[in-house]
Structure 1
Amino acid sequence: MARWEPGARERLVVAAVDLFTEQGYDATTVQQIAERAGVTKSTFFRHFTEKRELLVAGQEALSRLLAEGIAEAPDDASPLQAVAAGLERVSIAMGGPRNREFAPRLKAAVAASAELRERDALKSVSLAAAMTTALTARGVPDSTAAIAGELGVLAFKRGYAAWADGDGDGDLATYTLAALDELRTASAALG
């Protein structure tokens, strides 16, 4: 594959996750990732500042999609209904078969590395902040927006995991919205 072919960023992410899974995060070099992706090391650095950044590839897009979905929810939507609109927006965008196939490899790579688990946690914080900001822009009080944003992240993570592990035909949106409904019920039981 020539280095100038489109999709270098995506190929780099796939190559990195595969190498992280095969030989571990620490043992994987940027050079190996670039070679596996069929690009040069300088192409790697045009897309990412370091190998750890590969895990959060697309985080800005996820945050933007969540915020857009929340902003475009009907005016009378409750905070969790607005979060559901954001989850639906992001789930439609990333719920394709290629991501479903890729998810177990990503999960294994993250589970095997403390540094990647830390980066994944920071990604969750960022996504919650994006949802919280979008909700406060709708006039939702800060504490309510923060709780709804955290529930949204938890619903996305739970829905994504169930979707990736499932053999059913349901799409990612179905899984994330079901997870949000479960969390809504569970939070109501807190009293």
Structure 2
Amino acid sequence: MGRWPTGSRERLQGAALALFVERGYDETSVADIAARAGVTERTFYRHFGDKREVLFDGGHSLENAIVESLASCPPDLPPLDAIGQALDHAAARFFDDPRLPFARERQSVIGANPELQERESLKMTSLTAAVSRCLQTRGSDETTARLAAEMGIGVFKVAFACWVAPGNTEPLTTHLRESLTRLRRVAGQ
């Protein structure tokens, strides 16, 4: 038998999100989260560096999945098409229908707190830089890679906002494809 209760990480995430929604992010402490999850504060800190990280757990996994998928695209695929395929792959892996309620609540908490909005923005900046580097490794020049990465992650942000919008029932992949199509129209492609 393990030394710590199993499922602590997931219980901490669920407890934190519920408390953030009920009380607000600023009014919720690590002690509150640990108590709601039925663990100690020490257990909380074994899993997360601070209460922000409960909401941003998995960001590196998403970034790695997008970059790995992008790197495995056929080398002759244009940058924006390759990004589209990589985003589709990541969306299917990380953003399935059962995660939608969690994603909606998470996004509402982030939207209500400037500190969390800044953290989300930094995450997107890191993702854009990683996609740009990958495109350069695939042979795109620096400017093309940066432009394609900015557009691709812009598509992701717009599609994600549509996915978590109240009343939406379409999968994230549908919103990604529609957003990419709209970007191409806007760009005149």
Provide TM-score, normalisation by structure 2.
0.90
Aligned equivalents of 2:145 and 2:82: distance in 1?
A: 10
Letter of the structure 2 residue corresponding to residue 5 of structure 1: T
CA offsets per residue over residues 42-75 of structure 1, 9 Å max, x none? 1111111111222221010010011011111112
- When residues 188 and 30 of structure 1 are mapped into structure 2, their CA distance, relative to the original with a 3 A threshold, is same
2:10 alignment counterpart: 10
Aligned equivalents of 1:90 and 1:155: distance in 2?
A: 13
1:30 alignment counterpart: 30
Q: CA RMSD in A?
A: 1.9
1:154 alignment counterpart: 154
CA offsets per residue over residues 158-185 of structure 1, 9 Å max, x none? 1122122265653221211221221222
Gaps of 5+ in 2: none
Gaps of 5+ in 1: none
- 3-state DSSP class of the match of 2:153? helix
1:55 and 1:119 in contact (8 A); partners too:
no
Aligned equivalents of 1:82 and 1:11: distance in 2?
A: 36
- When residues 182 and 50 of structure 1 are mapped into structure 2, their CA distance, relative to the original with a 3 A threshold, is same
1:129 alignment counterpart: 129
- When residues 41 and 164 of structure 1 are mapped into structure 2, their CA distance, relative to the original with a 3 A threshold, is same
Q: Would you say how many aligned residue pairs link Structure 1 and Structure 2?
A: 187
Deviates most, 38-47 or 60-69: 38-47
2:97 and 2:171 in contact (8 A); partners too:
no
Give structure 1 regions of 4+ aligned residues with deviation exceeding 6 angstroms.
none
- 3-state DSSP class of the match of 1:170? coil
Letter of the structure 1 residue corresponding to residue 37 of structure 2: A
- When residues 185 and 37 of structure 1 are mapped into structure 2, their CA distance, relative to the original with a 3 A threshold, is farther
2:162 and 2:168 in contact (8 A); partners too:
no
Deviates most, 143-152 or 9-18: 9-18
Letter of the structure 2 residue corresponding to residue 153 of structure 1: I
Letter of the structure 1 residue corresponding to residue 73 of structure 2: A
2:187 alignment counterpart: 187
2:141 alignment counterpart: 141
Letter of the structure 2 residue corresponding to residue 97 of structure 1: D
Aligned equivalents of 2:187 and 2:17: distance in 1?
A: 35
CA offsets per residue over residues 95-151 of structure 1, 9 Å max, x none? 222211112211210111111111111111011112111111101111111111111
1:57 alignment counterpart: 57
Provide TM-score, normalisation by structure 1.
0.89
Aligned equivalents of 2:92 and 2:139: distance in 1?
A: 26
1:70 alignment counterpart: 70
The 5 Å alignment of 1:45-124 reads 45-124=45-124
Deviates most, 161-170 or 89-98: 161-170
Aligned equivalents of 2:183 and 2:149: distance in 1?
A: 12
Deviates most, 50-59 or 166-175: 166-175
